[in-house]
Structure 1
Amino acid sequence: MTTIRPLSGVRVLDLSTLLPGPLATLLLAESGADVVKIERPGQGDEMRAYQPTLGAASANYAVLNRGKRAYAADLKQPEQRDRVLALAAEADVLVEQFRPGVVDRLGLGYEQVRAVNPDVIYCSITGYGQYGPLAARAAHDLNYLAEMGLLGVVVDSAGNPPLPPTVLADIAAGTYPAVMNILLALRQRDATGEGCHLDIAMTRNLQLLAYGYFATHQGGGGWPAPGDELLTGGSPRYQVYATKDGRHVAVAALEQKFWERLAQLLDLPEQYLDERGQERAVVGVMGDLIGAHTADHWRKVFDGEDVCSVVVATFEEAVAAGLLDIHSDDRLTGEGFDVGTLPSTVDPGLRRPPGRLGYPSLDPLPTGPVWPSR
């Protein structure tokens, strides 16, 4: 079977590091794009040094950068910078993740690249956008979630916001908007012949994840009370309850038919079936009922039932259940690692480790051609 690679022939120059940009260019590479990643000489991308390793580099680096080629170039050295600019002149897409103004000072900003490549799609990923009082501020995922208000909508019993389970801003507000807009820009260029500068501001893009809170506010419902909304802890129908053996059950029985069936399975007293006005009391009763039995008990009770309630699984359990796909047999090289974005019949060329990269050194950017001739 031949896998269709919709971005075959698209050239991507990746100047980004760590997560949002490299994950975006990984998704482009998995769709057939030829991605060339530029890293600083010596240590390269910081993520190379993370632990544990997967082959020559860190596991994180190997997963995010497989299927790409990478070269070392000191962008502060004019000769090496000019070589990278020459690559940019041949690229369809350039992805960068510097703070605003840095690439301009290096000589690789949008206007400088556009001067040699008028139809380039130039994607900048930042925390706060290219302009405004916060544009140059240093921050990470947790800071973006905190500053735009999303981190505080769920709180624990002491009123403290918990750490999120993953880097939401980097991926949902950085990587995905970048990929989506790059694809749209490529489509637009096909129609108009014009490139563009994409300004991906992670903090602003997080508003999409908070759409319901803003819709409620605009509809006159005010701003969310921490831990007190339908999906943030205010309803017994949407909660995480502890089991007798220290595990947890995730209940999301929002619809009435699911809630009524769950109440039957739990032997919830009829007086608590309508939870309106007594939400906290019903949460307590539900907690007692679920806490009286083990996770395995509830797993068997919920099996085959439409109640939108499940035991909170470990990663090991999720893999065993076939919900996650990990090719651990290729651990030593990183080759064959599947992040799940393409079917298992994917072109073998996509299942290769990240370029010919020494660790911790990098191959210098060659003076000869890097892109194949079109």
Structure 2
Amino acid sequence: MIKPLEGVTVVEFAGLGPAPFCGMLLAQMGARVICIGREGAPPPAGPLARGREYIALDLKRGEHVARALDLVASADALIEGLRPGVMERLGLGPQVCRARRAPLVYGRMTGWGQNGPLAHTAGHDINYIAISGALHAVGLAGGDPVVPLNLVGDFGGGGMLLAFGVVAAILRARATGEGCVVDAAMTDGAAMLMSMMYGFYAAGHWQDERGVNLLDGGAPFYRTYRCADNRWIAVGCIEPQFYTAFMKGIGAEDLLELPQREKAHWPRVQERIARTIATRTRDEWAERFAGSDACVTPVLSLGEAPLHAHNTARGTFVEADGAWAPQCAPRFVRYAQASGEVDKAT
């Protein structure tokens, strides 16, 4: 089993959401992650707490701060998700920690960042993605903005980018002997995740409104449709050959006479597809398109997804203590295995 971060040590200060997600990613990649929690509080639990060593300290006591600094002194990186200034008040700020270990990478996870007018203001994922433009872009035409869970701010634009930043900074530290602070702000990360949409918008290929564009549900060939059993399928046949396969699959070949990318035709095409899809159940459509390139998949619930044949074949989820949890991603495959079967554990 390849563990690319084997030999890396990370000290994590226990928190909620994106910072623990970062710690989980680093641990799953093979890093030794030592989580410092609050004395008297229960140890972190659940999928985000996987793969840690845990130590409880009272960071209001000088001797416990000293113990934390001793751990930092032998670590490659530190990650924390507290408000700006809290670690400094605890005596564990970047300058103090750097004095103990010059190559230390100091990863900081916040919503607004370490500076800026909102840096010391409370907020949550929904607030951070709101000022990035991401929240405005998600939703049905003419409808309210739709909250995309807390995937865009906390996890995609937060914890995952913190993990990327920490690993990048560790590579730099090993080459130069000099650590640095990684200032990971969810506002920055969510905006960066919107790079392609901002590019489309600048080029005049994206309207600044919801549900009328190629990838936001506006296109009839890239959206979800309700089936006869009130479940859903996802259709993503963007390319012409896939679009043709889909239209033939639902018996709507006559619609192929209309230019696929001509928006004036989209309402008519969408209405016809919706009527047709509503005549069969989700699983009937999934079976109808199985093995085709029409880009049609069932929309699975949290209970169904771990049992899907593709997910079980790849070991995408693991069952522990009677519950399913996603496995480590991405996979790391030895060259000798690259053209054959991949070990689920790698």
Q: SS of the residue aligned with 2:181?
A: strand
Gaps of 5+ in 2: 332-342
Q: Separation in 2 of the partners of 1:319 and 1:18?
A: 25
1:298 to 273, 277, 285: 285
1:314 maps to which residue?
301
Deviations 1:206-259 (A, max 9, x none): 122211221023324565221111111221111111111101111111111111
2:24 maps to which residue?
26
Q: Separation in 1 of the partners of 2:201 and 2:230?
A: 37
Q: What TM-score does the superposition give when structure 2 sets the normalisation length? A: 0.87
Residues 222, 232 of structure 1: alpha-carbon distance in 2 compared, 3 angstrom cutoff? closer
Q: Separation in 1 of the partners of 2:294 and 2:166?
A: 40
1:8 maps to which residue?
6
Contact persistence 2:247–2:255 (CA under 8 A): no
Q: Separation in 1 of the partners of 2:140 and 2:69?
A: 50
2:62 maps to which residue?
78
The letter of the residue matching 1:209 is L
Q: SS of the residue aligned with 1:315?
A: coil
Contact persistence 2:141–2:209 (CA under 8 A): no
The letter of the residue matching 2:282 is A
Residues 269, 7 of structure 1: alpha-carbon distance in 2 compared, 3 angstrom cutoff? closer
Contact persistence 2:77–2:104 (CA under 8 A): yes
Q: Separation in 1 of the partners of 2:161 and 2:7?
A: 22
Q: Separation in 1 of the partners of 2:58 and 2:180?
A: 26
Report the more deviating stretch, 105-114 or 152-161: 152-161
Report the more deviating stretch, 109-118 or 139-148: 139-148
Whether 1:340 aligns to 2:328 is yes
Contact persistence 2:318–2:327 (CA under 8 A): no
- What do you get for the CA RMSD once the two structures are aligned? 2.3
1:58 maps to which residue?
none
Q: Separation in 1 of the partners of 2:63 and 2:296?
A: 60
The letter of the residue matching 2:289 is F
Report the more deviating stretch, 35-44 or 130-139: 35-44
Contact persistence 1:213–1:223 (CA under 8 A): no
1:318 Cα shift? Answer: 2.7
2:79 maps to which residue?
95
1:331 maps to which residue?
321
Q: What TM-score does the superposition give when structure 1 sets the normalisation length? A: 0.80
Q: Separation in 2 of the partners of 1:345 and 1:319?
A: 16
Contact persistence 1:16–1:95 (CA under 8 A): no
Gaps of 5+ in 1: 49-60, 347-374
Q: SS of the residue aligned with 2:140?
A: coil
1:7 Cα shift? Answer: 2.5
The letter of the residue matching 1:38 is I
Q: SS of the residue aligned with 2:55?
A: strand
Residues 271, 304 of structure 1: alpha-carbon distance in 2 compared, 3 angstrom cutoff? closer
2:113 maps to which residue?
129
Contact persistence 1:12–1:34 (CA under 8 A): yes
1:207 maps to which residue?
191
The letter of the residue matching 1:318 is A
